[in-house]
Amino acid sequence: MDNKRLIERLMTWQRNDRVHPFTCGNDSSHAILDVFEEDGKVKLFCPDCDYVQNNIPQFMLDEENIFDPLMEYDIMEVLRKNGFK
Ligand SMILES: [Zn+2]
């Protein structure tokens, strides 16, 4: 996955209210982490302090995840609409 795609996925994740966003390792009450690129590496940083997360979790790197965490719709809603209880 190229950096552009990874940044796109991370930014979508951080703005998706169905998932828990990546947060500051110093203080979880700080603003959610933002994305930047440094020396060809994608990293997350806290806008409120100097916290930087260098390691991007593997599931963000796996394009072929069957259960796509970035999907816009609620899977349970889809199941209910199709008659599942
Ligand atoms: Zn912070």
**Distance from residue 61's CA to the centre of ligand 1 (Å):** 24
Q: Residue 10 — φ and ψ, nearest 5°? A: -65, -40
Indicate whether 73 pLDDT > 60: no
Residues with CB under 5 A from ligand 1 (ion): 24, 26, 30, 46, 48-49, 51
Give the structural domain span for 36.
3-81
Per-residue exposure over 59-78, b if at least 16 CB sit within 10 Å of its own CB, e if not: ebeeeeeeeeeeeeeeeeee
Say what the pLDDT of residue 45 is.
97
**Distance from residue 80's CA to the centre of ligand 1 (Å):** 39
The count of domains in the chain is: 1
Indicate whether 54 pLDDT > 60: yes
Say what the pLDDT of residue 84 is.
63
